């Protein structure tokens, strides 16, 4: 099987696969045997109570947390192998976190082109052209020369999404990207994620926006104490949860 196809050895349509992933912090098991596939162009929403392991799961995929057991396979490559080149793996994974982490001393354009230039070593003109194209796509073409502090929180998150997409990642990880925003700014960021889905972007996102998950996700995964307690299409999971744990959670959060 060609690795260039971007899938796993078993199924080229699977972009990301977690197999029996375990992670403990000291005595506390936070991910307790996670098996999860994300297919090409699929949008998967991770939901679950605070502390259920959503962020830790995303951080293990981006190699911010080493795992204790299991495997993480990206495009056919075992990225949980300790010998992998971390920067090269991260260039294949776009990440946006809850808190804006744009570089305040760089313009919006430089924030977006940075990884292309320094990690992928693309020429400056090419990296900047790609960054301008992405800024247009997120509706911020006119902000290229601004510094992040002149942008609203919603605009900053849209820049962060453009930056994450710049290296053409195989998968985009989004961790509660609207939870630090004022309510009136949430919509523009969620609309952008919806647009990304329409153009075919593979997304794994933790969210507490249940209406959004229901609307945009192809599949919803409910995490409970570091385990996948239940998963399915949003219509099924939100209207007819099969487990008591999911039912209790949804009663509290919807
Ligand atoms: P969620 O994103 O679903 O709220 P997290 O993945 O952030 O959950 O946290 C899951 C559990 O792991 C929590 O009990 C949290 O306190 C714990 N945890 C997360 N990161 C660390 C860390 N670096 N050290 C110790 N415990 C951690
Ligand atoms: Mg979290």
Confidence check on the interface: ipTM exceeds 0.95, yes or no: yes
| pLDDT surpasses 90 at 5 | no
Domains: count for the chain? 1
169-226: pLDDT as tens digits: 999 999 999 998 999 999 999 999 999 999 999 999 999 999 999 999 999 999 999 9
pLDDT, averaged across the chain: 93
Residues with Cβ within 5 Å of ion ligand 2?
54-55
Predicted pLDDT at 66: 96
78-105: pLDDT as tens digits: 999 999 999 899 989 999 998 868 999 9
| pLDDT surpasses 90 at 21 | yes
pTM: 0.93
- Tell me if 147 is assigned to some domain: no
Question: What average pLDDT does the segment 25-37 reach?
Answer: 97
Mutate to test the pocket of ligand 1, among 23, 27, 30 (most ligand atoms within 8 A of CB): 30
- Tell me if 219 is assigned to some domain: yes
Predicted pLDDT at 3: 42
Which ligand is located closest to the Cα atom of residue 30? 1
- Place 12 in a pLDDT band, splitting at 50, 70 and 90: confident
Long-range pairs, 244-252, Cβ under 8 A, ≥24 = 246/222, 249/47, 249/48, 249/49, 249/222, 249/224, 250/210
The binding-site residues of ligand 1, defined as CB within 6 angstroms of any ligand atom, are 25, 30, 48, 50-56
Say how many Å lie between the CA of residue 120 and the centre of ligand 2. Answer: 29
233-246: pLDDT as tens digits: 999 999 999 999 99
CATH for 40 = 3.40.50.300
Predicted pLDDT at 227: 98
DSSP assignment of 222-248, as one string?
EEETTEEEEEE-HHHHHHS-SSHHHHH
| pLDDT: which is higher, 209 or 7 | 209
Predicted pLDDT at 116: 80
Residue of 206, 188, 111 whose CA lies nearest to 149: 111
- Tell me if 130 is assigned to some domain: no
What is the H or E stretch that residue 125 is in? helix 124-137
- Tell me if 81 is assigned to some domain: yes
- Tell me if 230 is assigned to some domain: yes
Question: What average pLDDT does the segment 11-33 reach?
Answer: 95
- Tell me if 240 is assigned to some domain: yes
- DSSP β-ladder status, 203-206 and 227-232: unpaired
Say how many Å lie between the CA of residue 96 and the centre of ligand 1. Answer: 18
Predicted pLDDT at 230: 97
- Tell me if 127 is assigned to some domain: no
151-165: pLDDT as tens digits: 999 999 999 999 999
- Tell me if 158 is assigned to some domain: no
* Domain carrying residue 225: 14-101+169-252
Residue of 168, 91, 170, 174 whose CA lies nearest to 130: 168
């Amino acid at each position: 099987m060609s690795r260039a196809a971007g899938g796993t050895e078993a199924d080229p349509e699977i972009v990301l696969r977690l197999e029996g992933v375990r992670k403990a912090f000291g005595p506390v098991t936070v991910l307790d045997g996670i098996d999860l596939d994300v297919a090409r162009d699929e949008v998967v929403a991770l939901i679950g109570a605070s502390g259920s392991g959503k962020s830790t799961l995303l951080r293990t995929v981006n190699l911010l947390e080493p795992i204790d057991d299991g495997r993480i396979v990206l495009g056919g490559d075992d990225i949980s192998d300790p010998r992998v080149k971390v920067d090269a793996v991260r260039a294949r994974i776009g990440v946006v976190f809850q808190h804006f982490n744009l570089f305040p001393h760089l313009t919006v354009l430089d924030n977006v082109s940075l990884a292309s230039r320094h990690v992928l070593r693309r020429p400056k003109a090419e990296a900047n052209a790609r960054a301008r194209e992405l800024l247009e796509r997120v509706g911020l073409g006119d902000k290229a020369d601004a510094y992040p502090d002149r942008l609203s929180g919603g605009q900053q998150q849209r820049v962060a999404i453009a930056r994450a997409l710049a290296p053409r990642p195989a998968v985009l990880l989004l961790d509660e990207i609207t939870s630090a925003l004022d309510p009136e700014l949430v919509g523009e960021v969620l609309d952008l994620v919806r647009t990304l889905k329409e153009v075919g972007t593979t997304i794994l996102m933790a969210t507490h926006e249940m209406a959004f998950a229901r609307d945009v996700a192809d599949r919803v995964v409910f995490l409970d104490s570091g385990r996948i307690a239940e998963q399915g299409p949003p219509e099924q999971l939100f209207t007819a949860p099969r487990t008591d744990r999911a039912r209790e959670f949804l009663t509290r959060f919807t």
